[in-house]
Structure 1
Amino acid sequence: MNKSSMDKNTGSGEVTIKGTEQSIMHSSTGNREFQIFVSKPLEEPPPSGYPVIYLLDANSVFETMVEAVRLQSRRPEKSGVVPAIIVGIGYCTNGPFSSERYYDFTLPVAVTELPKRPDGSPWPAHGGAENFLKFIEEDLKPEIGKRFKIDHNSQTLFGHSLGGLFTLYVLYKNPYAFQNYIAGSPSLHWNKNWFHEEEERFLSRLNQGNGDISLLLGVGEQEGTHKSRMNENALELSIHLSMTDCGINVQFKEFEGEGHLSVLPPLINRALRFALKENVPS
């Protein structure tokens, strides 16, 4: 079809995904600004409300997850995926990532303890994970709860790379903030000492609750050669948490032939079944 016939027979303009919207949201602490992407199912909510998946780095993967849910939730009895609200947390940028994520997803740590940057340049500002968690819990979640009928017992946090590190930070710091945690290729080497130091308090927090918590750790096979030991660190954590008998359902998956970024689509597919399977009508 040539250009003139396309112009004659089709509308022009940007492509949008039905049922999605975006807005700017400011944090009540830390003076931060976020681009919030929301996808609401076209179906009516179940009696318990919609399950919700909170997605980090939304500029890069929001559309991928939305389309995966839209397609797979058509036959939940076959796919194990039900309609869900996707809440993407991103930044005011046209690129897939923003350097602001280094601040929001990491814990305070001395510059001398940070891994060296590949190009030798200084790392962006870091150490804002505590304020970012406050934004999610005190600003974003209440807003989503006001606008939609949601299932407060089916909330998931999905993060990849530094976002995976932040996902594990939330698990350790406030384990019952979510029921499901998806940590893809987590950059544990950034704050590995903190997790060792925090473990006793983490186990104490788990003992104070009575909900079910599930954790999926996913990595790409090709990441196994990275000097950060990303795959080894994730596997070690999954084994350790399984052996501590802490009551968390832990799964580890290494995706064959995938690298640090190419792992995202198969990880999302696996994550949807992992997070939403309990919501499938029997």
Structure 2
Amino acid sequence: MGQGMILPGTSVYKVSAERSGREYVINVFVPDIAPPPSGYPVIYLLDANAVLGTMVEAMRVQSVRSDKTGVVPAVIVGIGYEAKQPFPPERYYDFMMQVPEADLPRRPDGASWPAYGGAEAFMHFIEDQLKPEVEEKYSIDRSRQSIVGHSLGGLFVLQMLLGNPGTFRHYIAGSPSIHWNSTWIEQQRASWVSRAENCGTEMQVLIAAGEQEGSHPSGVVGRSRELAHWLGQTGLEGFSAEFTCFEDEGHISVLPILMSRAIRFASRGYG
């Protein structure tokens, strides 16, 4: 990710997580305009190996005419890995909580999944280390922070929302792998409303999937729609949740349109 890839307005550096020692490649895009008095909005993007370029180009093109597109210029912080493949195995460890192996879906070839279970440490890395570093280097509006993830990254976004409400203002979860951690998600519902009320932060949630995913045995479309509906019915002040199904898109083809929708969703209430 950090080798040989140059995008306009971006800088790249490597960072080692203080708690876990895991290495990440961080790409930061900064708009080509001065920050507003409150600082730039910021979007934390998971799976930067796969979608950083897509989101950066969407931001560069659409934020030129915010009045027409609804997209305001924002800093993008892409969290990726040294590996060259778009979806390296390290993501399983960072995005997944520790769950019984028997609860995981079976791989088509019957092999074991890569190491997983480091989601809590990854949450601490983002909150306690990465955010402060970004806020020290750039002018950031801490009240306008968003996180975007797809598939297992979408699951991680939901885990952040349900486990640590208020850490972001906008949560965008595309094709979230809810079936990987459905028991924990159900458990969180019982106490989530009271915990979300106490965080005192406005939150907006977008859960999305591709229409072609409707036939997948994971039930991603149905699970995503149901969770978004439940969240939307909680009645919390300053909170909203919605579900979008992108017509004629599959699990991977949905990525470009998801990134485009994400930057517009992250601009809500700003500008």
TM-score with structure 1 setting the length: 0.92
Does 1:83 pair with 2:84?
A: no
Match of 1:268 among 241, 245, 259: 259
**Residue 254 in 1 paired to residue 261 in 2?**
no
User: In the alignment, what sits opposite 2:152?
Assistant: 162
- Structure 1 residue matching 2:107: 3-state secondary structure: coil
* Match of residue 144 from structure 1: 134
1:43 to 11, 33, 37: 33
Note the C-alpha offset of 1:270: 1.3
For the residues of structure 2 that align with 1:136 and 1:201, how far apart are their CA atoms?
Answer: 24
Give 3-state SS (helix, strand or coil) of 2:248's partner. coil
- Distance apart, 1:15 and its partner CA: 6.8
Matched residue type, 2:252: L
Matches within 5 A, 1:184-223: 184-223=174-213
Q: Tell me, in whole angstroms, the C-alpha distance in 2 between the residues paired with 1:17 and 1:157.
A: 20
Q: Does the alignment pair 1:237 with 2:227?
A: yes
Structure 2 residue runs without a partner (length 5+): none
Q: Secondary structure at the match of 1:120?
A: coil
> What residue number does 1:108 align with?
98
Give unmatched runs, 5+ long, in structure 1.
1-13
Give the C-alpha shift of residue 277 in structure 1.
2.9
Q: For the Cα contact (< 8 Å) 2:29–2:76, is it kept in 1?
A: yes
Contact 2:229 2:242 in 1 (8 A): no
Q: Deviations over 1:33-70 (max 9, x none)?
A: 11111101110001110000000000100011000000
Which residue of structure 2 aligns with residue 67 of structure 1?
57
Structure 2 counterpart SS, 1:60: helix
Q: Distance in 1 between matches of 2:63 and 2:232?
A: 30
Letter in 2 for 1:276: S
Partners of 1:165 and 1:17 in 2: how far apart?
28
Q: In the alignment, residue 232 of structure 1 is paired with which amino acid? A: G
- Provide the secondary structure at the position in 2 that maps to 1:177: coil
Specify the code of the residue in structure 2 equivalent to 1:148: Y
SS at match of 1:37: strand
Give the 4+ runs in structure 1 shifted more than 3 A. Answer: none
Q: Distance in 2 between matches of 1:49 and 1:33?
A: 28
Structure index of larger Rg: 1
Are the counterparts in 1 of residues 24 and 79 from structure 2 also a CA contact under 8 Å? Answer: yes
1:189 counterpart letter in structure 2? H
Partner of residue 9, structure 1: none
Cα deviation code 1:219-273 (max 9, x no counterpart): 0000001000010100110111122323421111000000001101111111111
RMSD in angstroms over aligned alpha carbons? 1.1
Of all paired residues, the percent bearing the same amino acid is 49
Correspondence for 1:22: 12
* TM-superposed deviation, 1:113: 1.1
SS at match of 1:279: coil
- Distance change in 2, residues 1:49/1:184 (3 Å): same
In structure 2, what residue type is equivalent to 1:160? H
Structure-1 separation of matches of 2:68 and 2:269: 13
